[in-house]
Structure 1
Amino acid sequence: MGLLVLEDLGRSFGPVRALHGVSLTVAPGTVHCVLGENGAGKSTLCNLVYGGFAPTTGTMTLRGRRYRPGSPAQALAHGVAMVHQHFSLVPTMTVEQNLLLGGRGLRLRKADLGRRLERIAGEFGLTVPRDALVGDLPIGARQRVEIVKALLPGPDLVLLDEPTAVLDGPEIEALIATCRAVAASGRSVVLVTHKLGEVAAAADEATVLRSGTVAGGGPLAGDASVPRLLALMLGRDPDDLDPAVTAGLGVRVDVATGDATDVDAATGDATVGDAAAERADGSAGREPVLRVEGITLGRAGRTRILADVSLTLAPGEIVGIAGVEGNGQSDLVHVLSGATRADAGTVHLGGVDITRATPARRTALGLGVVPEDRHHEAMVGSMSVAENLYLARLGDFRRFGLLDRRRLDTAAADVIASFDIRTSSPRTPMGSLSGGNQQKVVLAREVAIPGLKVLIAAQPTRGLDVGAVDHVLARLRAVAAGGVAVLIVSSELPELLALCDRIHVAYSGRLLGPVPAGGERAADEIGALMTGAGRSAAAPANEETGAGKTAAADEETGAVA
């Protein structure tokens, strides 16, 4: 008997069928992965089980009894917890305050919370900074808080909706270990993911959703092999995928044989650097279009978030920044975009000093930015797709002081077709699109900036399905081929190795390297730099820009991870 049994489950939103005829069984003490591209119905399925909304058709059974929660609170009362794809924490509250809000509707006391956190740390190896303000935590740390909050009530079933989308390699490994530990304790886990390497490492069984229906699946030791799962997800032969796509998924598929090779999520240990090595070095000898020198940033004058960061980008070059999250790379993007003002250092774009320029001025000079947190920094969910595509240029579509929506929709329709943005209309609210399609909108807007010189993309494939990742990577390559300098900040090392000409590593607020992406031992060198073990070896490569001073980083800098 399964812990959770779904039979012929369906859900419609008006004329749109999000799920239809879905049946699956989650056995006790197992990790059951649900796979599928964006819009396949994975999040809808989780929300049905968690009581977010009721199914239109079909039945659910929990522990052999009919199950139909009317709300998340009722689901929690039945021992079902969920970690949502988008955070539900209150950023202005501390971690402890957020956790005290949990507990099956009961308000926990601090002493009770402490005991439960000790149990979770001992049983699952998860710890959180209780006194830290959630808004100050890096994304990966916030995700851990979400998972701990879900485990506090001691649920029998935990639903994890794309939990690894915001985690780096070591954190992903830790989460997989947590999933296995939860299953070993007799509980069950439903893990929604698009990374096949994680499925191979974590799952006992897998179910693939495509267009709202079950495309296939089964035990991982049986028919549901990794190559088969990939083919089921895509609904087509994967031989046309960019090599960086399958590398970023955590698996490399040999399309000739159908065999799959796991990629180490932490080190990117796979032969994926060939594409970067074969790139024509058209940027050699060109004057840098972006020059960053000596950027330093502190918090309240006490600690250094960025310490003497320098780098250059030439036209047509793709440069990557790798590293465990929280080492300053997100703050560097904020400085370059103009969202944060550095304490010291300079930034030049096309020979113009933009150190103190506003974000609007930087855009006018040819700087495009795809932020890592698209929901809070790159889009307005209540506005239409068309309005988001032309967010900074809506004035171009005004007539007699009013927005000419027909002309705006016509212009947006061409972009929607070009970028394969899946939406029923240019007037569809941006917030109703899947994550992959939202990212396509943001990327399309930034790529279309008049006179684009530099494109900065932070975590551009985070949380995206296979098809969306393939599209985004192809667009980034095309932008560089057109002479634009591209800076990619990503925790997906295999993707960086396949895309970039050279890769820096963010470590304790500094940039180490760079490491040529096509080198035979590039993954090993970058892995060492990510742990701080290779700092001295990296120093000579940076001496021309001044970033070689990273080798001298010590406790006195106060740089924080």
Structure 2
Amino acid sequence: MHQVASQLPAEAVASQTRPLLVLENLGKRFGSLQALQDVSLDFRVGEVQCLLGENGAGKSTLCNLIFGVYRPDDGLMRFAGREWVPAGPAEALDSGIAMVHQHFSLVPRMTVVENLMLGQSRGLLQHRAFAAKIRSIAESFGFSLDPEAVVGELSVGERQRAEIVKCLMREPRLLVLDEPTAVLPPDEIGSLLDICRRVADSGRAVILVTHKLAEIAKVADRVAVLRGGRVVAKAEMATADMGALVRAMVGREVKSLDVALSESGAASAPPVSAGDAPRPRALVCDGITVKDRHDAVRLDNFTLEIRAGEIVGLAGVEGNGQSELGMVLAGLQRPAAGRFFIGETELTEAGPAAVTAAGGGIVPEDRHAVACVTAMSVAENMYLNKLDRFTRFGLLRRNALNQAARGLMQEFDVRAAGADVAFSGLSGGNQQKAVLARELTLDPLVALVAAQPTRGLDINAVEAVYRQIRAAARRGVGVLLISSELDELIAVADRIVVLYRGRLVGERPAEPGERAAIGALMSGHGL
């Protein structure tokens, strides 16, 4: 029992021996796809229970059953001793279950405080008091969150923090977090895990879905592993074998990323020696400067050259200009100054279609906002920039489109009931793999800009994504890899540049021995 628990009333401590939520033989189908089958688990107050599993294993489906988004087809649930069949998320919230989703639910044009005030119908709402409460909760995480900031102008990490604060304001009995750390930089993940621990110790239950084993080791009391919609392993963390959990999750032995990539032969292009002719330029950024609506500089004189076949990692804590750079290179935002080229083509004033036509593949950090149309099918999204290949007399040849998409789905391991199902029905990881498949198969592909490409992906998928990226580099594609996952950058990139407060502050070789130096630059030390 943790120390905080000893401060609870006797009846609260006693209740920690009873499960708050019980699932018995739970099953859920989507058409012919059996998403969950015979899932039996319990979740206890005072505990953090983690759910492990590959993308598409059923973790998000399970969370959505608990939260009332879906209804089970088989089995039953009991919450607080009573049968639990919620009519929807509103009933779940009223009953004391809150959920932080993978995908954002905030209104982009509204401020943080306006978003968090939505749906709060108890009494007269005071803007100033609400804003103060937001600041207070954010400070307990160890980060700042401006209640007056417009959500659409926040980075992905800042928007996720707002979602977490929104959830915690309801003081839930059961807190469900579906991949909450996927968008957080390393120095903030520990703060979030501390909050999970404190929420559990205060007499609540916490369900945490994550792919990061280090997080599980730090915070979990128990862990359950899903594979193919079934529970294949359960363990008490005090005695758990982490290797066995990983094997249960993926069904095989897993090597480290750098070893797996080297054994696959998907190495990046060899370094150019002094006697070699220089490879052509794939991507050039020349003094790019971006300002926000308040005229504050968010990206300052960003200058970088990437050659064909080279992978350059861009490291930095989120919110330091990466999002703005990605928007400029995608043709979605005009810089205040500077210019950029793909190959020899200047695209500073061009739009997304021109970037694609010039050979620019873009994998944005927020796939829902700018990378896909969730109401369209998987096939339509995977060929969104090449649908003209499947039209005849102005009509879309769906059979041909679906057949081509099935081939891409197999190549990139995109798991879905079919190519014609709605893109919104895919798990977050499978959506990401579909976007990657579309961008990596551009013809021509001169430069790839990949922002947080493995966010929300499991171990197998991370390995597959980087294998595909390094294979593209071998074909002569220049790659800008933007990630807050420093270990991944070191394993994949040829060199790493660091962005801090909108400025490039240094460049280091992508070698394990440089990790401390790169980390220092990311935090602003040693400048």
TM over 0.5, shorter chain: yes
Alignment map for 1:11-30 (pairs within 5 Å)? 11-30=28-47
Alignment map for 1:21-420 (pairs within 5 Å)? 21-103=38-120, 108-110=125-127, 113=130, 116-117=133-134, 120=137, 125=142, 128-222=145-239, 224-239=240-255, 242-243=257-258, 280-282=270-272, 285-300=278-293, 302-420=295-413
Equivalent residue for 2:483, pick from 486, 490, 497 = 490
Which amino acid in the other structure matches residue 525 of structure 1?
A
Relative to structure 1, the CA distance from residue 93 to residue 432 in structure 2 (aligned partners, 3 Å threshold; closer, same or farther) is same
Distance in 2, Cα, partners of 1:126 & 1:78: 29
Contact 2:113/2:131 (<8 A) preserved: no
Task: Confirm or deny that 1:441 pairs with 2:434.
Answer: yes
Q: 1:108, CA displacement in angstroms?
A: 4.4
Contact 2:268/2:311 (<8 A) preserved: no
Contact 1:338/1:358 (<8 A) preserved: yes
Relative to structure 1, the CA distance from residue 425 to residue 105 in structure 2 (aligned partners, 3 Å threshold; closer, same or farther) is farther
Contact 1:101/1:108 (<8 A) preserved: no
Relative to structure 1, the CA distance from residue 54 to residue 290 in structure 2 (aligned partners, 3 Å threshold; closer, same or farther) is closer
Gaps of 5+ in 2: 1-17
Provide TM-score, normalisation by structure 1: 0.85
Q: Secondary structure at the match of 1:186?
A: coil
2:515: which partner in 1? 523
Distance in 2, Cα, partners of 1:220 & 1:198: 12
Q: 1:127, CA displacement in angstroms?
A: 5.1
State which drifts further: 403-412 or 205-214: 403-412
Equivalent residue for 1:428, pick from 421, 430, 445 = 421
Which amino acid in the other structure matches residue 101 of structure 2?
H
Q: 1:526, CA displacement in angstroms?
A: 1.0
Distance in 2, Cα, partners of 1:295 & 1:127: 27
Identity of aligned residues (%): 50
Which amino acid in the other structure matches residue 501 of structure 1?
D
Contact 2:156/2:365 (<8 A) preserved: no
Which amino acid in the other structure matches residue 533 of structure 1?
H
State which drifts further: 356-365 or 156-165: 356-365
Distance in 2, Cα, partners of 1:67 & 1:320: 47
Which amino acid in the other structure matches residue 233 of structure 1?
M
1:267: which partner in 2? none
Relative to structure 1, the CA distance from residue 409 to residue 64 in structure 2 (aligned partners, 3 Å threshold; closer, same or farther) is closer
Distance in 2, Cα, partners of 1:337 & 1:119: 36
State which drifts further: 310-319 or 406-415: 406-415
Contact 2:185/2:318 (<8 A) preserved: yes
Which amino acid in the other structure matches residue 521 of structure 2?
L
Distance in 1, Cα, partners of 2:147 & 2:97: 24
Q: 1:56, CA displacement in angstroms?
A: 2.1
Contact 2:102/2:428 (<8 A) preserved: no
Q: Secondary structure at the match of 1:91?
A: coil
Distance in 1, Cα, partners of 2:456 & 2:303: 29
Q: 1:393, CA displacement in angstroms?
A: 1.9
Provide TM-score, normalisation by structure 2: 0.90
Relative to structure 1, the CA distance from residue 53 to residue 424 in structure 2 (aligned partners, 3 Å threshold; closer, same or farther) is closer
Equivalent residue for 1:504, pick from 487, 490, 497 = 497
Relative to structure 1, the CA distance from residue 370 to residue 79 in structure 2 (aligned partners, 3 Å threshold; closer, same or farther) is same
Q: 1:52, CA displacement in angstroms?
A: 1.6
For residues 462-488 of structure 1, the C-alpha deviation after alignment (integer angstroms, 9 at most, x for no partner) is 111222212111100100011111110
Distance in 1, Cα, partners of 2:147 & 2:238: 40
RMSD: 2.5
Task: Confirm or deny that 1:480 pairs with 2:480.
Answer: no
Contact 1:83/1:150 (<8 A) preserved: yes
Distance in 1, Cα, partners of 2:405 & 2:70: 32
Q: 1:145, CA displacement in angstroms?
A: 1.3
Q: Secondary structure at the match of 1:92?
A: coil
1:538: which partner in 2? none
For residues 188-215 of structure 1, the C-alpha deviation after alignment (integer angstroms, 9 at most, x for no partner) is 2110111111111111111111111111
Equivalent residue for 1:471, pick from 446, 461, 464 = 464
Contact 2:54/2:227 (<8 A) preserved: yes
State which drifts further: 495-504 or 43-52: 43-52
Q: 1:44, CA displacement in angstroms?
A: 1.3
2:7: which partner in 1? none
Relative to structure 1, the CA distance from residue 245 to residue 28 in structure 2 (aligned partners, 3 Å threshold; closer, same or farther) is farther
State which drifts further: 108-117 or 480-489: 108-117
Relative to structure 1, the CA distance from residue 278 to residue 289 in structure 2 (aligned partners, 3 Å threshold; closer, same or farther) is closer
Which amino acid in the other structure matches residue 181 of structure 1?
R
Q: Provide the aligned length of Structure 1 versus Structure 2.
A: 505
Which amino acid in the other structure matches residue 366 of structure 2?
D
Contact 1:11/1:20 (<8 A) preserved: yes
For residues 214-233 of structure 1, the C-alpha deviation after alignment (integer angstroms, 9 at most, x for no partner) is 111221112x3211111111
Relative to structure 1, the CA distance from residue 57 to residue 488 in structure 2 (aligned partners, 3 Å threshold; closer, same or farther) is same
Contact 1:18/1:211 (<8 A) preserved: yes
Gaps of 5+ in 1: 247-271, 536-561
Distance in 1, Cα, partners of 2:435 & 2:115: 31
Relative to structure 1, the CA distance from residue 14 to residue 427 in structure 2 (aligned partners, 3 Å threshold; closer, same or farther) is closer
For residues 335-380 of structure 1, the C-alpha deviation after alignment (integer angstroms, 9 at most, x for no partner) is 1221111121121222232222332222222111111111121111
Q: 1:244, CA displacement in angstroms?
A: 7.7
